[in-house]
Amino acid sequence: MKTSTIVAATVGVLAVATVGYAIYFDSKRRNDPEFRRKLKKERKRTQKLAAEEAKKLSNKSAQTVEEALASISDEDFPTSMEEREKFCMEQLSAGEALFTQGPTKFGQAAICFYKALKVYPAPAELVMVYQKTIPPEVFTLVMGMLSKDVQSKQEKYYTVFPPEEMNVKVEEKPEGVAADGQKVTRRGLVATKSFGAGQTVYSEAPVISSLEPSLEGKDFCHYCLKQIVDEASKVPCSKCTQVVFCTEDCRKSAAQEFHDILCTKDSEDASSPERSLREYTKTTRNLVPEMLAKFLVKMVHEESLNSGAEYNSFDHMERLRYLEITATAEEEKEMELLKVALGSNIPGIDEFITEERYLLMKGRLLYNLYGVSTSLNVDHDVEPLPERHRSVRDAPITGGGFYRVTSYLMHSCEPNAKIVFSENDHKVSIVTTREVMAGEELLVGYIKNDDLSTESRRLELFTKYRFRCMCPLCETTD
């Protein structure tokens, strides 16, 4: 008898028997109390056994994951792109060879695939490949290792950031109660030692900054935003006439971090990728799209440095609060400009800039953007930026800056600290306005108070930053 005939016959017999038993079972279940009691007891026993087996399997998998991570904890992974590519291919090949040897080699195979994932430039894409090509048991172990590693990295983050020398730490703080009665918390910046009034707690250079478009190419540095007083000291870009720098160091830093890729090179073609983004920025005076372009290019630059830093700029950005933005025609245009401007220089940028990711990145910049004041002339005529930004300064805003640590500073209408650009460049200093004790949260103003009513202040803050101010001034005058 053919195998297919045996299978067909067996299936037929089983089907008939199953139907017959189902009828008998249902009759006994409805009419026999003793049968129902035994059935309930048996169901509990089965559930208990299933739970025990699931726990054993879970513990075994967890133990395997822990052991696997421990086995590579001290391993030095390659840093150069060439070495990483070679290492990745070796691990993928080794992993495939191992899992074909059967279940006893699944653990070792998972370690190889995970090590490949550690050096692959687009891990999310590799995970999708794994899901389709490696055994489910191996994939589960790889994802378990990834999940555990991410969890460990998340838990460790605020123990090493901010750096100890900045005299601050990030702590959870209450922010009221939600509509469902649940307590809402936020992250705030707390002083780790006491300061007298007028003292500088820390200073910080931005991750990225941008000059107000109308000031480009004139008397302000394209990199540090400093006003250039001496015409003779201006340092031009070697490839375009659109921007100037205050020093050769600033020109070199800009070139390395972002300008070599984003430079318009004085193209005569109005539709050239770099010029299109620049023209959009000039027309709208919106800084965020250009800042995101600089941010993405700088990420690639950081990667090329192979500094060995555990957390990169994107790690810092993704932990920050953000505004929820709905995609409009404006965002669609910005995404397209970004993809076109970076496409020829950053492979895979089309896949990376999804609508969801772009809206999140833009929302984070808009929520955490600080207005930068670097003009030496208080009467310098600069129109207010159209995008929301944190600022209470009387001096004109000459640009915007996005900062790792300073983004955690929360608002108060009676702040105990202020934002100062003491060197008249994009580097920010946090200076106390009164005595601040160790353990006390540092607070700055996001908006100009100007004797506004509590209702007006709260409305502006909610409109811009989606929170109801609960500072002492607002609470006592509510």
Q: Is the per-residue pLDDT at 421 higher than 90?
A: yes
6-51 tens-digit pLDDT: 223 222 323 333 333 333 344 444 455 665 566 566 556 545 544 4
42-57 tens-digit pLDDT: 556 545 544 444 344 3
What integer pLDDT is reported at residue 220 of this predicted model? Answer: 95
93-113: average pLDDT: 90
384 is a domain residue? no
Same domain? For 220 and 317 the reply is: yes
Range of the domain at 284: 208-368
The answer to whether the peptide bond before residue 162 is cis (omega within 30 degrees of 0) is yes
Range in 165-169, 261-265, 280-284, 467-471 with the lowest mean pLDDT? 467-471
Q: Is the per-residue pLDDT at 307 higher than 90?
A: no
235 contacts: CB under 8 Å, gap ≥ 6: 244, 245, 246, 247, 248, 250, 251
148-176: average pLDDT: 88
273 is a domain residue? yes
Same domain? For 76 and 123 the reply is: yes
344-381 tens-digit pLDDT: 888 788 888 999 999 999 999 999 999 999 987 756 66
| Pairwise pLDDT comparison (251 vs 107), residue with the higher score | 251
Measure Cα distances from 354 to 55, 59, 196, 252, 434 in Å: 39, 37, 47, 31, 45
What integer pLDDT is reported at residue 118 of this predicted model? Answer: 84
Helix (H) or strand (E) holding 187, with range, is strand 183-191
CA-CA distance, 154 to 159, in Å (whole number)? 10
What integer pLDDT is reported at residue 40 of this predicted model? Answer: 60
Same domain? For 276 and 257 the reply is: yes
CA-CA distance, 283 to 275, in Å (whole number)? 12
246 is a domain residue? yes
| Residue 149 structure tokens | 């590693």
Domain count, the chain: 4
Same domain? For 153 and 33 the reply is: no
Same domain? For 353 and 464 the reply is: no
383 is a domain residue? no
222 contacts: CB under 8 Å, gap ≥ 6: 211, 216, 237, 243, 244, 245, 250, 254, 259
| Pairwise pLDDT comparison (477 vs 161), residue with the higher score | 161
What integer pLDDT is reported at residue 29 of this predicted model? Answer: 43
Range in 55-69, 95-109, 124-138, 198-212 with the lowest mean pLDDT? 55-69
Instruction: Find residue 171's DSSP bridge partners.
Output: 188
Describe the chain by its helix, strand, coil percentages, rounded to 5: 55, 10, 35
What integer pLDDT is reported at residue 478 of this predicted model? Answer: 63
Q: Is the per-residue pLDDT at 178 higher than 90?
A: no
430 is a domain residue? yes
450 is a domain residue? yes
